[in-house]
Amino acid sequence: MKFVIQRDRLLASIQDVMKAISSRTAIPILTGMKIEAKEDGITLTGSDSDISIESFIPKEEDGIVYVEQIEPGSIVLQAKYFPEIVRKVPMNAVEIESDGQLNVTIRSGSAEFKLNGQDADEYPQLPKLHSEDSFELPADLFKNVIKETVFAVSTQETRPLLTGVNVRVQDDQLHFVATDSHRLASRQIPISAAFDFQNVVIPGKSLTELNKILDENQDPVEIRITNNQILFRTKHLYFLSRLLEGNYPDTSRLIPNESKTVLQIDTKELLRSIDRASLLAKENRNNVVKLVTQESGKLEISSNSPEVGRVVEEMSVEEISGEELRISFSAKYMMDALKVIESEQVKIEFTGAMRPFLIRPTDDEDLLQLITPVRTY
């Protein structure tokens, strides 16, 4: 195998593929990165067996030559050293060559690295997905949906299904739901094409890594699903993740359909106020803040840490209606929810101090955040 490649293009692909490579893996060869040279370009592969990523660098694209002097072949290189080497080579052209004895030479300018490679035949074959169940989303929309939901997945392995984001089709809408059973994030987007599609649960970690790799543009991401795997494909990227098995709980019944107190308030101002109220309770795991409606029509946000002190703040609201309210909740959950809302104002619907409440952007009915309050009295 041999080729000469543009450093920056190679480095970008390496960084994508590294997202799937872990130094802790039961299969030693997976600590390496597979490099495969074919006539039309170079493919890099990384995998931790949960996630597998392939990135393709075409020989030439849009009139720009990325790879030259290709002699087909493949090799696996230790991922621990390869990215740093490519980042630090002296010239923009990098030559990578392997001989029959798995010796790899990386040359750039007058610098030469000789590395021990591994046999690419020993690298696991990635499964090829044969599935007709596919649909497309623009990358920027998909990134947004991930951001709006994935933070709410559970980090505890006691209920493995909750560490994933549930995706299902209903009423010509694609529904994304994540919950750790204390809070829930839900986003729906309309779909135009009719297709037959299962209810699946995608590991939160896979979506987080995918979000780091996808560019913020409108290029389509093709999504293909089988029983136990999901593939995300863009022009030069192939991102495969296992799916979580089991029946995701029906979360629709958690969402109250009546409300007793309704607020409309500035999103950023509320976020900053909750942030301040939480300052003294940082080490407190629950980090509880209290919200109380005032006769003046304002809100009081407060928090009390007996050892340290007390914070209290009065906030103006845009609109308030319904019953008086005293409610306590996790500052972290509230901030997580508010941070992903871009709308200037949010509407918050409460159904008493003991029931979950809903946060929605005022300009977007398809995003919903739910938080279960904390009982303090």
User: Interface with a copy of itself by CB under 8 A: which residues?
Assistant: 78, 81, 84-85, 88-90, 104, 110-116, 272-273, 275-276, 279-280, 282, 307-315
For a copy of itself, the closer of residues 8 and 112 by Cβ is 112
Beta carbon of residue 108, minimum distance to a copy of itself (angstroms, whole number)? 9
Q: Specify the residue, 86 or 145, whose C-beta has the smaller distance to a copy of itself.
A: 86
Rounded Cα–Cα distance for residues 86 and 92 (Å): 10
315 or 368: whose CB is closer to a copy of itself? 315
Contact 211, 147 (CB under 8 A): yes
Q: Which of these, 273, 320, 281, lies nearest to 300 by C-alpha position?
A: 273
Phi and psi at 24, nearest 5°, equal -105, 100
**Residue closer to a copy of itself, measured from CB, 278 or 328:** 278
Name which of 186, 191, 185 is nearest 171 in CA terms.
191
Q: Minimum distance between the CB of residue 54 and a copy of itself, rounded to whole angstroms?
A: 25
How far apart are the C-alpha atoms of 129 and 112, rounded to whole Å?
39
- What is the full DSSP assignment across 277-342? HHGGGTTSSS-EEEEEE-TTS-EEEEEEETTTEEEEEEE--SEEEES--EEEEEHHHHHHHHHT--
The smaller minimum CB distance to a copy of itself, of residues 165 and 317, is found at 317
Smallest gap from residue 234 Cβ to a copy of itself (A): 31
CB 149 within 8 A of CB 367: no
**Least separation in angstroms between CB 279 and a copy of itself:** 5
Cβ proximity to a copy of itself, 190 vs 306, nearer residue: 306
Tell me the one-letter amino acid at 170: Q
Distance of closest approach, residue 293 Cβ to a copy of itself, in angstroms: 15
Of 38 and 298, which CB lies nearer to a copy of itself in the complex structure?
298
Least distance CB 15 / a copy of itself (angstroms): 17
Q: Give residue 246's region: left, alpha or beta (phi > 0; psi -120 to 50).
A: left
Q: Least separation, in Å, of the C-beta of 297 and a copy of itself?
A: 14
Shortest reach from residue 110's CB to a copy of itself, in Å:
4
Question: Looking at beta carbons only, is 141 or 312 nearer to a copy of itself?
Answer: 312
Instruction: With CA atoms as reference, report the closest residue to 136 among 224, 255, 5.
Output: 224
- Measured from the CB of residue 298, what is the shortest distance to a copy of itself in angstroms? 9
- Closer CB to a copy of itself, residue 87 or residue 159? 87
Do the beta carbons of residue 117 and residue 75 sit within 8 Å? yes
The whole-angstrom separation of Cα 290 and Cα 302 is 5
| CB half-sphere exposure, 216, CA atoms < 13 A | 2
CB of 286 to a copy of itself, least distance (A): 18
User: Among candidates 248, 256, 326, 258, which has minimal Cα distance to 293?
Assistant: 326
At 280, list the tokens: 């003294």
Helix (H) or strand (E) holding 333: helix 331-339
- 3-state SS of 159-200? CHHHHEEEEEEECCEEEEEEECCCEEEEEEEECCCCCCCCCE
Taking the least distance from each CB to a copy of itself, the nearer of 222 and 313 is 313
330 φ/ψ angles, rounded to the nearest 5 degrees: -70, 125
d(CA 359, CA 207): 23
